[in-house]
Amino acid sequence: MMALQILFEWLASLVEVLLFFYVIDAISDRRFTKGKQGRFTFIVAGFVAFGVILMNLAKLSISLPTFIYAVIVYALGAKLLFRGRFPDYLLASVGYIAFLSFMDMMLFLAMNHVGIVETTEAVQQITSFDGKRVALIAFAKAADVTLVLFFGGLLRKKVLRTGNRSFAITVICLILGSAGSIYYVIHLEYLLGFAWNFSQILLGLSCILIVAILYLTLRIWEIRQEAEYADRRNQLLETNYRLEKEAYESNAKLYHDMRNHFLAIQNYLAGDHVSEAQEYLEKLVGNYKAFGVERQTGIEAVDYILCRKTEIARERGIVVQIHSEYPKDCQIDPVDLCTIFSNLFDNAIEACEKCQQDAKKEIILTIRRIHQFILIRMQNSSASAPVIKDGTIDTSKADRSKHGWGLLNIESAVEKYGGTIEYDYNGSLFSVSIMFFY
């Protein structure tokens, strides 16, 4: 019989906890999907109710330890199940538990008024295990379910339509917590066993009011900070979107024009009009200056790029060293190699030119085969450390829409072969290391 009564007590407490989570669900976003949310809610509510039963086994009535336990674990359970602030849930649990106590008191008074049972008799029965206790609790929980579902439905309709949802939730929880605190300050005799006089009650209510005002002020400040942060983030996103859009349009136009140029050159070459093709190219890139191409990789186009960029760098007073050991059986597309080396050299030359006049300006390119890997390392003098964001270098130029594409092209070519790229800055030397598996 005792086991059945304890089971009933647990079910009654479980109903109370589930009703609290129903109220929180009306004002907070769920942390899990619908199916998981339901299962986790029942599990958490079961453990919370079990704790309440353990607390009540010592004394079958509301007590200060039971009240403190319920307030804290209700709030912790809500924090586990929903995306919200713990202080708000703490205030809500105070108000909710006070509401249940108030409803039980009103129920007993109503039963006493209609002559069903005397209030003193109801209190005695509610603190002892017997059949009448079961009937009283069942009736009380039925009333609680009806009222909580009604008010929870109202919250669900009103809060979700509120413009500033976060502030509305704070105000609702603050009202619940303040009302609950006031209720327990007035009825401390029921919890602690001693009564306060009027001045003590007034002092307690004043403290509650001051704390409520301070908490509301803090939340208003936090909400304003969140709004300012959201505005700054939106402005940044809008700026980035505009820059990316301009860059895309600019590169789309460039690609369209270059494709037409290539088609024109291809047409000249198809008709064996080599002189016309050379003349057309001179108009695009300037006069061609013949010079000897030093063998570095064995790939004519790549060696031309390396020699041409080396000559440009040396004309600008930059010392260039190339140490190359390129495998013959490498299957990397020469077009991708030209993309990598030309952009690496362009960035290195630009960085060297930014160094002070009397500073050492050098570029060191190393190409090595290590077992089944190819290592490409470009080192160059640099006046300052680059800004690296999300694993890539952020351009330092004012017009971001027209710059930074060289590194993106390098990274795209490296990614094509499943390679890796790393950046490092040591002293005044910046290095880019690329590793390919060939």
Mean pLDDT on 346-358:
88
Residue 170 within a domain:
yes
pLDDT at residue 251 is higher than 80: no
- The angle, 0 to 180 degrees and rounded to 10, between the axes of the packed helices 64-81 and 86-113 is 130
Answer whether residue 46 shows pLDDT above 60: yes
Q: Are 375 and 433 in contact (CB under 8 A)?
A: yes
The predicted-structure confidence for 133-183, as pLDDT tens digits, reads as follows: 677 777 778 888 888 888 888 777 765 555 566 777 778 888 888 888 877
- Does 143 fall in a domain? yes
The answer on 153 and 8 residing in a single domain is: yes
Neighbour count for residue 109 (Cβ, 10 Å): 12
Provide the pLDDT for residue 278. 82
Q: How far apart are CA 141 and CA 154, in angstroms?
A: 20
Under 8 Å between Cβ of 49 and 55: no
Same domain, 314 and 426: yes
For residue 275, the model assigns a pLDDT of 84
Work out the pLDDT band at 283, boundaries 50, 70, 90: confident
- What is the average pLDDT across 366-370? 88
pLDDT winner (highest mean) among 5-14, 41-50, 281-290: 41-50
Instruction: Tell me the C-alpha distance between 117 and 119, whole Å.
Output: 6
Alpha-carbon distance of 51 to 73, in angstroms, equals 9
Shared domain for 10 and 155, answered yes or no, is yes
Q: Is the pLDDT of residue 56 over 80?
A: no
| Dihedral angle over CA of 367, 369, 375, 378, nearest 10 | -10
Clarify whether residues 316 and 176 are in a common domain: no
Select the more confidently predicted residue: 354 or 394.
Answer: 354
- Tens digit of pLDDT for each residue in 18-38? 989 998 888 888 888 888 888
Contact indicator for 327, 438 with CB cutoff of 8 Å: yes
Number of domains in the chain: 2
Q: What pLDDT does residue 81 have?
A: 92
Given this model, what pLDDT does residue 364 score? 93
188 and 293 inside one domain: no
The answer to whether position 351 is within a domain reads yes
**Helices 86-113, 131-159: inter-axial angle, 10-degree rounding:** 130
295 and 428: one domain?
A: yes
Shared domain for 188 and 336, answered yes or no, is: no
**Two tokens, residue 189:** 């005799």
Region 316-333: what's the mean pLDDT? 84
86: CB partners within 8 A, 6+ apart: 75, 76, 79
The answer to the question of residue 376 being in a domain is yes
Can you give the length of the chain in residues? 438
User: What is the reported pLDDT for 252?
Assistant: 63
Q: How far apart are CA 362 and CA 431, in angstroms?
A: 12
Task: Give phi and psi for 21, each to the nearest 5.
Answer: -65, -30
* Weakest mean pLDDT among 95-109, 286-300, 362-376: 286-300
Whether residues 295 and 162 share a domain: the answer is no
Where among 167, 195, 223 does a domain terminate? 195
pLDDT band per the 50, 70, 90 thresholds, residue 217: confident
* Dihedral Cα 20, 21, 24, 29, nearest 10 deg: 180
Tell me which of 204 and 86 has the higher pLDDT: 86
Show which of 137, 167, 195 is a domain's final residue: 195
Beta-carbon neighbour count of residue 24 at 10 Å? 28
Q: What is the pLDDT averaged over residues 365-374? A: 86
Within its chain, how far is the Cα of 225 from the centroid?
Answer: 17
Alpha-helical segments (H) within 187-273:
188-192, 198-270
Longest C-alpha distance within the chain, in Å?
116
Same-domain pairing of 188 and 294: no
Spatial separation of the C-alpha atoms in residues 335 and 332, rounded to whole Å:
9
Rounded Cα distance, 42 and 234, in Å: 39
Identify residue 437 by its one-letter amino acid code.
F
Structure tokens given for 392: 């890539």
Q: What is the pLDDT of residue 386?
A: 75
Task: Please tell me the distance from the alpha carbon of residue 229 to that of residue 232, in angstroms, as a whole number.
Answer: 5
Distance CA 135, CA 108 (A): 13
CATH number at residue 376: 3.30.565.10
Check if the beta carbon of residue 340 is closer than 8 Å to that of residue 410.
yes
Residue 400 has pLDDT above 50, yes or no: no
Confidence at residue 402, expressed as pLDDT on a 0 to 100 scale = 45
Burial of 156 (0-12, 13-18, 19+ CB in 10 A): middle
Q: Which of 109-118, 290-299, 306-315 has the highest mean pLDDT?
A: 306-315
Mean of pLDDT values over 243-249: 61
> 306 and 176 in one domain?
no
Q: Taking a C-beta distance cutoff of 8 angstroms, is the pair 12, 141 a contact? A: yes
* Closest of 126, 123, 16 to residue 74, by C-alpha: 16
Q: How many CB atoms lie within 10 A of CB 148?
A: 21
Q: Is the pLDDT of residue 59 over 50?
A: no
Sheet of strand 429-437, all strands in order from the earlier edge strand to the far edge: 319-324, 362-370, 373-381, 429-437, 420-426
The reply to whether 309 and 167 lie within a common domain is: no
The tokens of 5 are what?
Answer: 């009564």
Mean pLDDT of the chain: 77
Give pLDDT, residue 2. Answer: 66
Of 205-214, 300-309, 373-382, which one has max mean pLDDT? 373-382
Q: Residue 359: which of 419, 257, 428 has the closest Cα?
A: 428
Strand residues in 58-125 grouped as ranges (E)? 82-83
What number is the average pLDDT over the span 68-95? 88
Instruction: Write out the residue range of the structural domain in which residue 169 sits.
Output: 2-195
356 token code pair: 């002070």
> Do 55 and 184 sit in the same domain of this protein?
yes
Confidence class for position 271, pLDDT limits 50, 70, 90: confident
Q: Is residue 167 part of a domain?
A: yes
Which pLDDT does position 365 carry in this prediction? 92
| 82-83 and 420-426 beta bridge pairing | unpaired
Residue 183, in any domain of the structure: yes
